[in-house]
């Protein structure tokens, strides 16, 4: 959809692209200056495979400060983005035929990363009425003797859902009864949370030895292009990931690592300013879309997406165009309203469409005004 949007833009069409999952802010100045200093200091040689000690210490300190979790630097491995971290962990822990539980809707790469590791994705679905969050009961029912891991994401892409502490307690209780299941907790949207202090499964003491935390600087610090992600894991998994990464990619860009140190140890006001801006944009978008008939939206509590259920439009048409799927809807909105979205089928949810609100207020007002007008034409 992003490519199709660009093609239309290049042909002169005024397309508003709401497909991209990245902040529209620039990297904060003090972080950029740390990268520039690293270049001037000739930090241009091979870095350690698992990351510079100073960065791993900064991450360990961050986990203690922000999450009340104790990790030593040798439990942390720095990789080329959180996706790389996820791929490393799955390659190290999943064997042929192992089952990996994935709550749906899910981020598009989860399924493919599990398949690349020769695992079997086991999808557990939650709809808009449940705010796209699975229950402890659903989790328990999905566990089999072949279950090796669960991929858990909160705040969530694509839904923006955030599991409450009460919900996490119930899920944690299930996983505590299954200590052989590895919990891969994707917390990349940790800093974009509108409902209070972030909570994750790694914060439960009883689960620590079976939990791998996935995080990075891309979303919270507007550093998507710097490509820095990390894991915090039991030592055996951290050691295995380091071995694997040593063969695949070796260490991550030294300049990006130096900038990321400053992200963790420097002034955090920039993070709060971006969070407040995203919260404001969320409220702006929700205020517009609440008047769109048959557009069912669960209020997102984090990240920067809305994921409306548009299934009540299935079967409706305008002219010779009929809407029968999420792809139909995304293509219709792109070609009719000139607003680019992502069909929910990519996230395991055929009834939905994802819009990113990581865009300027005036663009969001214009975009969802167009969406409202285009949907009104479907009968």
Average pLDDT, the chain: 97
Q: What does the pLDDT read at residue 105? A: 98
**pLDDT tens profile 169-180:** 999 999 999 999
Residue 2 — very low, low, confident or very high, per pLDDT cuts 50/70/90?
Answer: confident
User: Tokens standing for 141?
Assistant: 């029912």
Average pLDDT estimate for 163-173: 97
The residue that leads in pLDDT, 9 or 26, is 26
Alpha-carbon span 273 to 251, nearest angstrom? 32
Residue ranges and CATH numbers for the domains of the chain are 2-21+270-376 (3.90.1150.10), 29-265 (3.40.640.10)
pLDDT at 1: 81
Lookup: tokens for 30: 């003090």
Q: Note the pLDDT of residue 9.
A: 86
Phi, psi (rounded to 5 degrees) for 251: -75, 165
Query: Please, what's the b/e burial string for 292-319 (b: 16 or more CB within 10 A of its CB; e: otherwise)?
Result: beebbbbebbbbbbbbbbbbebeebeee
């Amino acid at each position: 959809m992003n490519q199709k949007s660009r093609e239309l833009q290049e042909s002169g069409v005024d397309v508003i692209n709401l497909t991209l999952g990245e902040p529209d802010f620039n990297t904060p100045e003090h972080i950029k200056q740390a990268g520039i200093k690293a270049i001037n200091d000739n930090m241009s040689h091979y870095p350690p495979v698992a990351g510079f000690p100073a960065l791993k210490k900064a991450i360990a300190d961050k986990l203690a400060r922000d999450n009340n979790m104790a990790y030593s630097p040798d439990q942390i491995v720095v990789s080329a983005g959180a996706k790389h971290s996820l791929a490393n962990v799955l390659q190290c822990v999943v064997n042929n035929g192992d089952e990996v539980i994935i709550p749906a809707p899910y981020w598009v790469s989860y399924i493919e990363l599990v398949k690349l590791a020769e695992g079997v994705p086991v999808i557990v679905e939650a709809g808009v009425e449940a705010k796209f969050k699975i229950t402890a009961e659903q989790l328990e029912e999905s566990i089999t003797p072949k279950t090796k891991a669960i991929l858990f994401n909160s705040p969530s892409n694509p839904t923006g859902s955030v599991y409450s502490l009460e919900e996490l307690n119930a899920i944690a209780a299930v996983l505590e009864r299954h200590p052989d299941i590895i919990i891969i907790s994707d917390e990349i949207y940790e800093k974009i949370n509108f409902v209070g202090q972030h909570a994750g499964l790694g914060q439960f003491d009883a689960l620590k030895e079976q939990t791998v935390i996935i995080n990075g600087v891309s979303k919270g610090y507007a550093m998507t292009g710097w490509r820095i992600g990390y894991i915090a894991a039991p030592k055996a998994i951290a050691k295995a990931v380091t071995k694997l990464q040593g063969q695949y990619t070796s260490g991550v860009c030294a300049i990006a690592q130096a900038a990321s140190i400053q992200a963790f140890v420097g002034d955090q006001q920039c993070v709060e300013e971006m969070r407040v801006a995203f919260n404001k944009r969320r409220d702006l978008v929700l205020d517009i879309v609440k008047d769109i008939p048959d557009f069912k939206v669960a209020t997102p509590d984090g990240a920067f997406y809305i994921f409306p259920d548009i299934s009540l439009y299935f079967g409706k048409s305008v002219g010779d165009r009929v809407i029968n799927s999420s792809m139909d809807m995304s293509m219709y909105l792109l070609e009719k309203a000139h607003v680019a979205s992502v069909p929910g089928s990519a996230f395991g949810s055929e009834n939905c469409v994802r819009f990113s609100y990581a865009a300027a207020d005036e663009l969001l007002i214009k975009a969802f005004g167009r969406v409202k007008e285009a949907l009104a034409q479907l009968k």
